[in-house]
Chain A
Amino acid sequence: MSKNYQAIVIGAGPAGSSAALTMARAGLDVALVERGSFPGEKNMFGGLLHRMPSLEKIFPDFWERAPLERHIIKKGVTFMTGDSSFSTTIEAGSFDKPPYNGYTVFRPRFDRWLAEEAVAAGATLITSSTVDQIVLKNGKIAGVTILGRSGQLNAPVLVAADGVLSFTALKAGLRKPTFDPAQMAVGVKALIDMPREMIDERFGLVRDQGFANEFVGCTEGVRGGGCFYTNYDSLSLGLVFHLASLRTSGKTPYDLLNAFMEQPQVAKMISGGRLLEYSAHLIPEGGYDMIPELVGDGIIVAGDAAAFCNATGLNLEGINLASHSGVVAGEAVIAAHRAGDFSKQGLTAYKKLLDESFVIKDLKQARNAPHMLHNNRIYHEYPEMMCNFMENIYKIEGIPKQNVTKLFLKSAREKVGLGNLLADGFSAWRSL
């Protein structure tokens, strides 16, 4: 099999399908190559789908059209230590009115839908095909070879949307040969079956309302955190670990996940449910400083492949950045076709458009957050301090009480140290 296209997009995730969709709508003959037997088969996701400015522009009816689950009206944070936890939640009226702020979503369904929209616009979807090598002709990019289905696909320009490890970007010399474990995290997730009515009742939800919660202090001192999401009739419960911390901890992701699921407050959330699926994937958490070369001669890098993931602690964004970068990549390829110039220079519109968008602006603004989050105290001492403080506030033992300030200082001194508290507060304020 050898076929000629005007562009090849590698990876049918949100970045790749958005790129293929954009190009196909402009009339380009584009191949969308996916290693799964269907788009979304290889995706793992523990997050929310927030506003999607670029797709909302392409589909004015995006929110009715896309296969989504519940819209999030209630968001919480839980500080956990041993068998105690302290939670705060916000339930806002505005979260329950369209345009909704965030949705839970099943990626195998969502990614398949988005790729099908690209196909409907004229793109050729080639599944079960892992891209192997970049084909060069006279020193210029001319296509790729694939494994699975065998053969070669030809095009003068590639969009590498092949995910966090992007071997395409590596082979094109755009990313470094090794990754820094300090810039990567791994997420593991349990998908738990539960009847819809039970979820509604347990978490105080009606209609299509959903609840999302994040956890700190649930990783036995490994830098990381937990997350919880309600889908229509299932729950997603996961943990994320910074690899630099996990690799030297001696602890395993599945044992930590089990302990998390058995923690008394979490156990109550998921009791009566049944494990349906276990999954794991890397997350590029290094932020702005991790971004590879975005453009080379005949190639653009988008989505996770370009480390477009904004993980500042409380919000985790990826799909929206991926999709926007895909649309912009598509626009840059269209411009390059018009000018007949696929050189790095001819594709620079990509960088320029991204620089002006929320993708680069937000990542730049949160540039110091990844460093701040490498403070081990966040994952152990602070959750302990919060729980200890709240426990003491609510304890009524028939002996004279200390005032709140004294109680706080006592917890802070015992669990964190006052000097650390001041220093950490200052660095958090500076980086956010």
Chain B
Amino acid sequence: MNIDEIFDNTSFTIDREAHIVLNYEICTGCDNRGCVNSCPARCYTWSQEEQKMTFVHDGCLECGTCYVVCHKNAFTRWRYPRGGFGVAYRMT
């Protein structure tokens, strides 16, 4: 399982409108950032150099891990994608 190839293995209908929106300032001040390693889809990346969090919702598996591990409540929005969008499991 190569996480770089997630789009080859799992189907998505990507919504242009992100279903998760972060206040990055909170992430910069976070002492844990458990989201970065815990997210099974590697949607969160932290740049130590730039002291900056990047989040991409495209390959989100809608598992809910970040919603639970974030103890700073950095989300200005956390909901599931609009109906019909997001991950589409075929046989799991």
A residues within 8 Å of B by Cβ? 34-37, 40-45, 106-109, 127-130, 132, 146-149, 164-165, 167, 178-179, 181, 184, 186, 188-191, 234, 236, 243, 246-254, 257-258, 261, 275-282
Is the pair A277, B69 in contact by a Cβ cutoff of 8 Å?
A: no
Is the pair B40, A44 in contact by a Cβ cutoff of 8 Å?
A: no
A44 to B83, CA, bound (A): 17
Is the pair B6, A278 in contact by a Cβ cutoff of 8 Å?
A: yes
B residues within 8 Å of A by Cβ? 1-3, 6, 9-10, 13, 32, 34-35, 37-42, 61-65, 67-69, 71, 73, 79-92
Is the pair A247, B32 in contact by a Cβ cutoff of 8 Å?
A: yes
Distance between B61 CB and nearest chain A CB, rounded to angstroms: 4
Is the pair B65, A186 in contact by a Cβ cutoff of 8 Å?
A: yes
25 contacts between A and B (CB under 8 A): A35-B83, A35-B84, A37-B83, A40-B89, A44-B61, A44-B89, A128-B84, A130-B79, A147-B83, A148-B83, A167-B80, A178-B73, A181-B71, A188-B40, A189-B92, A243-B68, A243-B69, A246-B38, A248-B34, A249-B37, A254-B42, A278-B61, A279-B10, A280-B41, A282-B65
Is the pair B83, A186 in contact by a Cβ cutoff of 8 Å?
A: no
Is the pair A108, B37 in contact by a Cβ cutoff of 8 Å?
A: no
Residue of A with least CB distance to B87: A42
Is the pair A165, B67 in contact by a Cβ cutoff of 8 Å?
A: yes
Is the pair B9, A181 in contact by a Cβ cutoff of 8 Å?
A: no
Is the pair A281, B81 in contact by a Cβ cutoff of 8 Å?
A: no
A residues in contact with B68, CB < 8 Å? 179, 181, 184, 243, 282
B residues in contact with A276, CB < 8 Å? 9, 91
B residues in contact with A188, CB < 8 Å? 40
A37-B84 contact in complex given A165-B64, A277-B10, A281-B63, C-beta closer than 8 Å:
yes
Which of B73, B85, B87, B92 meets A107, CB within 8 Å?
B92
Is the pair A107, B89 in contact by a Cβ cutoff of 8 Å?
A: yes
Which of B2, B32, B34, B61 meets A280, CB within 8 Å?
B61
Residue of B with least CB distance to A164: B64
A146 to B85, CA, bound (A): 13
Distance between B89 CB and nearest chain A CB, rounded to angstroms: 6
Is the pair B1, A275 in contact by a Cβ cutoff of 8 Å?
A: yes
Distance between B15 CB and nearest chain A CB, rounded to angstroms: 9
Which of B1, B38, B73, B92 meets A43, CB within 8 Å?
B92
Q: Please indicate which of the listed interface residues A147, A251, A258, A277 has the most CB atoms of chain B within 10 Å of its own CB.
A: A147
Which of B41, B84, B90 meets A108, CB within 8 Å?
B90
A41-B88 contact in complex given A130-B83, A280-B63, C-beta closer than 8 Å:
yes
A407 to B91, CA, bound (A): 46
Distance between B40 CB and nearest chain A CB, rounded to angstroms: 4
Distance between B36 CB and nearest chain A CB, rounded to angstroms: 9
A181-B10 contact in complex given A43-B92, A148-B85, C-beta closer than 8 Å:
no
4 further contact pairs, Cβ within 8 A, besides A167-B80, A280-B40: A246-B37, A277-B91, A280-B65, A282-B64
A146 to B67, CA, bound (A): 21
Distance between B55 CB and nearest chain A CB, rounded to angstroms: 16
A238 to B10, CA, bound (A): 15
A residues in contact with B91, CB < 8 Å? 106, 108-109, 191, 234, 276-277
Distance between B66 CB and nearest chain A CB, rounded to angstroms: 10
